[in-house]
Structure 1
Amino acid sequence: MKIVQYVKMKIFLKDRDLELSTINGKKYPTTDEIPCMNNGDMWCPLIDVENGIIINWEKGTTANINIEVDYDYRVFECLDENKNILHILEERVPDSLSPEKEGYGEYIHMTINNEGVINKWNPILTLR
């Protein structure tokens, strides 16, 4: 069995998945209010796995993310320190993306502070 070490994770999700989330205390945010949007239709946070910090987070923004992830529009890329892709996950949501309550492989539940730090982050640094 090969063990792959990765240091960053990039997520690609369609924006409609974010409709139950709260940004700066506001429910049902528009895509303009959501940090890490790519081309207005994909949520693409880049996470420093060791520290649980979203690198491309807009400082000063807080969020409570609750997403039932659409199977047709999700990709999780595991990257090295140079952002080279080491592994792509397309089946289940990694457990580390739901640190506050059980995600059952289908949900992302996380609270992000104004510095982009994910609350209760518990990194899973190896893929088997």
Structure 2
Amino acid sequence: MSDLFASDKGQPVFLKAALPTRFPQDSRLNGEWDDEHNPKMPLTTKSAGGAWANHTMTLVIDIESGKVQDWNEGDVAEINNKVVDMGVYSILNKDGDEITVIEGDYVPDALQIDDEGYGDYVHITIQGDGHIKKWSPLKVQELYQHRAY
């Protein structure tokens, strides 16, 4: 692993993804389809207004391990979330301070693991232990390096 993920104050440690949820019913939690009007997906809150999304899922992911912080132990989520270019992606240091923020851009490859979403969809599976299946920290590194120029 490169020193990009070192624990120094200025180094990236977390990826925070604020994901407006247009169609929560397209995702599954513990094998059951989520509810369009009252999503049960962990880390999802009601949005204040918004043009088309009534809920936002916010994931804080340890870049190196792919573990979602504060995930409900035992919950398995298959997330198929249409975000288009409305997501906000922040790279955070070990203290949770923002190093960089990417707004109004398409979904990064790091969050399109299970299927090709053409930049419009988040496609990930969060396992019962909170780790994202098939996580690749190198894809986050690419996102960070792309934005650093």
Normalised by the size of structure 2, how large is the TM-score? 0.74
Higher relative contact order (CA closer than 8 Å, sequence separation 6+): 1
Structure 1 runs (4+) deviating above 3 angstroms are none
Which of the two has higher C-alpha Rg?
Answer: 2
> In the aligned structure 1, how far is the partner of 2:90 from the partner of 2:68?
14
Q: Which stretch shifts more, 96-105 or 61-70?
A: 96-105
- 1:46 corresponds, among 60, 64, 67, to 60
Q: 1:26 — aligned with what? A: 32
CA pair 17-83 structure 1, distance change in 2 beyond 3 A: farther
Q: How many residues align?
A: 124
- Letter of the 2:45 partner, please give it: N
Over the aligned positions, Cα root-mean-square deviation in angstroms equals 2.0
- The offset of 1:96, in angstroms, is 0.7
Q: 2:43 — aligned with what? A: 36
- The offset of 1:108, in angstroms, is 1.0
CA pair 66-76 structure 1, distance change in 2 beyond 3 A: same
Instruction: Confirm or deny that 1:75 pairs with 2:88.
Output: yes
> In the aligned structure 1, how far is the partner of 2:96 from the partner of 2:19?
18
CA pair 107-16 structure 1, distance change in 2 beyond 3 A: closer
- The offset of 1:61, in angstroms, is 0.5
Q: Which runs of 5+ in 1 are unaligned?
A: none
- Answer whether contact 2:79 2:122 (CA < 8 A) is retained: yes
| Structure holding more strand per residue | 1
- Answer whether contact 1:10 1:47 (CA < 8 A) is retained: yes
Identical-pair percentage: 31
Partner of 1:82, secondary structure, is: coil
